[in-house]
Structure 1
Amino acid sequence: MKLLMIELHQEDCSNIAVSEKIKDAELNLVNVREDGDYTHIDAIFLGDMFKENVISTLRKEKAFNINLKMKSRSEIWVSYDILTTAAWRNFSSLGCTVVPPLRVANGVEKWFVYTPDEISQRDIKRQLEMDNATHISRIRELTLKSFLKVIFNMDFLSDFIDTMEALTDLQVKTIKQAYVNGYYDYPRRCTLGDLAKINGISKNAMAKRLKSVEKKIFECLFGYI
């Protein structure tokens, strides 16, 4: 078996539509269970949003059996059912296995997929795009070691979730704002001064905000590397 990371867009997918219609929303699908014509989703929505907006958008996109738990203003846990998409049906026909968690952001889904050795990346791309509703932006093979270190390290996941839940709303907003605006890009798309100006504070105060949340995240991460 080979392990691939596939980035794709599904025009017939409720998850994609919701991520596009709720500004700055990122979905982390922690459990996906296909059952014939329907697929059950357990997801974590991250971003500044209201639960009423999430529910109404899911309903408009034909999701049903919606259950929602508000963890904070920037984190909502949701379970719901959607119609099974063409991509899922095509994956099943190839004998591939999709491994949660899946990420959905900016109209693109990132899947981790186990595939039989005899199936090439070209075969997968052709099969997924045969219905014209699915578009592949990138496929690359991953080493099992690099994948398992993060995805299947339950101690890491548990500690990381605890770390993120312990962050204040301001800390979550600060780190996400820096990321979205390109502070961590290379080259940077914004400076510390730009972020300070957005928040109406000094550069020194902005630096302290970032360092406080970076320290907590890095302490958790580097404890497992």
Structure 2
Amino acid sequence: MIDLDIDMRQYDCPFIDTTDDIDIAFSAVQWQLDTDAAKLETRLIAKADSRGALDDGLRTLREHPNMTNCYILSKRDNVAEIGTKIKETNAMQTIQRNGGYITGPFQIENGRERWHVGFDADEDEDRTLAELERHNDYSVENRDQFGPSTLFDLLENSESATQLLEGCRSLTETERETFEVASRNGYYETPRATTLDELADHFDISKTAVSMNLRRSERKVLQAALGAIDRMEDDDQL
């Protein structure tokens, strides 16, 4: 199996057009492509910077000519869960026609969309990408190729991977940025290539504050990793 991580700009997608005009982002929770009706049905999480921006974004989405149906399932402050039906886009048709398939949820923000697309053969991949270039703007951000044993391992340990992912997502923006900068600058190397004082200067905060941010991020990631390891060991015993 070939798995592509694609940064895509479609020119006939309601979600992309909406995020172009409004400061709102969409993340797919569930989707189903009806090839006979040439429509895609999705459930998504919509998130904006404010309640007003959320309302503006949903109104713009409903009014898009390629939107068939858009309804709110739940809503709180600046976040909503929505259901939609849209006309099949050119990219969807191209991928489906050439034997491709969606392998993961997609995210849309700032007029761009992140797709995860799978193929069984190199020629299917090459043909699809060549056709996508005609009507879409895209770049392949990552490409992986898995054999049957690797795929089995991924599926068997999907719950452990999800637990680790959720631990990473639990980081606040400050914790994540502090953790990333510290790692990138060599804080965890031996010997260390940067110090707490230098990290404090980088973020313009106290040494104590940067230390606390690092400790919180380390604790969350470590707890998630240990939980994932425990789950993997339990699955092995079963």
Query: What's the TM-score, normalizing by structure 1?
Result: 0.69
Q: For residue 54 of structure 1, what is the aligned residue in structure 2?
A: 54
The 8 Å contact of residues 96 and 113 in structure 1, kept in 2 or not, is answered as yes
* 1:140 partnered with 2:138: no
Q: How does 1:30-179 map to 2 (within 5 A)?
A: 30-35=29-34, 36-45=37-46, 49-61=49-61, 62=64, 63=67, 64-70=69-75, 76-117=80-121, 119-130=123-134, 132=135, 134-138=136-140, 140-143=143-146, 145=150, 149=154, 153-157=158-162, 160-161=165-166, 163=167, 172-175=172-175
Q: For residue 193 of structure 2, what is the aligned residue in structure 1?
A: none
For 2:2, the aligned partner's letter is K
Matched residue SS, 1:100: coil
- Deviation at 1:90? 1.0
Q: How does 1:184-203 map to 2 (within 5 A)?
A: 186=184, 192-195=200-203, 197=204, 202-203=206-207
The 8 Å contact of residues 174 and 210 in structure 1, kept in 2 or not, is answered as no
The 8 Å contact of residues 29 and 100 in structure 1, kept in 2 or not, is answered as no
Provide closer, same or farther for how the CA distance between residues 147 and 208 of structure 1 changes in structure 2, counting only shifts above 3 A. Answer: farther
Matched residue SS, 2:123: coil
**Matches of 2:28 and 2:117 in 1, distance apart?**
14
**Matches of 1:211 and 1:58 in 2, distance apart?**
39
Bigger proportion of residues as helix = 2
The 8 Å contact of residues 200 and 206 in structure 2, kept in 1 or not, is answered as no
Provide closer, same or farther for how the CA distance between residues 65 and 107 of structure 1 changes in structure 2, counting only shifts above 3 A. Answer: closer
Q: For residue 183 of structure 1, what is the aligned residue in structure 2?
A: 181
Matched residue SS, 2:104: strand
- Deviation at 1:11? 2.2
Task: Quote the RMSD (CA, aligned, Å).
Answer: 3.9
For 1:153, the aligned partner's letter is S
**Matches of 1:213 and 1:80 in 2, distance apart?**
36
Runs of 4+ in 1 over 6 A off after TM superposition: none
User: Number of residue pairs matched?
Assistant: 208
Q: For residue 189 of structure 2, what is the aligned residue in structure 1?
A: none
Unaligned stretches of 5+ residues in structure 1: none
Query: What's the TM-score, normalizing by structure 2?
Result: 0.66
Q: Which structure has the larger Rg over C-alpha atoms?
A: 2
